[in-house]
Each structure stands twice: as C-alpha cells, then as structure tokens.
Amino acid sequence: MLQDGSPLDPLNPATFVPPRVQTLAPHVVIEFCDRCRWLHRATWVQTELFLTFPPPAIKGITLVPLNSPETGGRFRVWLSGESGLKLMWDRKVAGGFPELKELKQRIRDVIQPEKSLGHSDKQHKSSE
C-alpha cells in the first residue's frame, strides 16, 4: 500500500517506492579508480563480501567509480554503521590492495565479532 492507501502495482512504476538507502546499515562503499580499470576488482570484492556476509549482516554494497585526476589510483573500502562511515581499507595508505582474508576480518570484527570465517580466519593466541 502507498501512503495514500492505493495498492502497489508491480507493473506500474508510478506506484514503486524507492529503497531507503541511507538507512541501510551496515552498508559497504567501495570507491575505485575507473581510469585504472579497477571495476572488476571492485565487483570481485563486492561479491566476496556478499558471500561471506549475506543480508542482513551487510544490507548493501555500493560501488563508486571515480574518474577525476585527484582520485587516480584510489581503492577504498568504507563500512557505514550506527556510528557513521569507517575506513576499512585504503590502497595508497596500506601500500596495496586488500587481501580478502584481512578485509573480511576487519569487517567481521565490526559487524559480527562472534562470526567464524572458517579457513580464512586469523589464528587466535589461545590456539597457538
């Protein structure tokens, strides 16, 4: 039902209600240099994160292609949650692209600290 009480019609775009993207949390944002042709890397990271953290663990992942000179070489992964955006990875700061194992661990530690990542999980001191 729409706010005016009329029914939703799956074939009438006038009745479609857009998603509340700003309220989707946790939400991942991947910024990448499109001039560097990193779209495939960004979509690979997106796919891996959705496979590891299916909804509702992560409610959405947005890819943001960047083309301006000042964003050349950028590859950043952000996590938005209740406390705002948190930088999870920056290629230039870290000196390279994230290993998916490490990126998944960083995201897991924020959104699902109790979740086991199986074979790609870090070794805890108690098991050494």
- Establish if 58 belongs to a structural domain: yes
Instruction: Output the average pLDDT for the chain.
Output: 88
Structural domains of the chain, count: 1
- Establish if 126 belongs to a structural domain: no
Q: Is the pLDDT of residue 83 over 60?
A: yes
- Establish if 6 belongs to a structural domain: no
Hey, what's the torsion of the CAs at 93, 113, 78, 81, to 10 degrees? -140
Q: Is the peptide bond before 26 cis (omega within 30 degrees of 0)?
A: yes
- Establish if 9 belongs to a structural domain: no
- Establish if 4 belongs to a structural domain: no
As a whole number of angstroms, the distance between CA 86 and CA 4 comes to 38
Q: Which domain holds residue 91?
A: 21-107
- Establish if 2 belongs to a structural domain: no
Closest CA to 44 of 117, 104, 122: 104
pLDDT digits 0-9 by tens, 34-59: 999 999 999 999 999 999 999 999 99
pLDDT digits 0-9 by tens, 5-24: 677 777 888 777 777 766 67
- Establish if 125 belongs to a structural domain: no
79/8: higher pLDDT: 79
- Establish if 1 belongs to a structural domain: no
Looking up residue 32, the CATH number of its domain turns out to be: 3.40.30.10
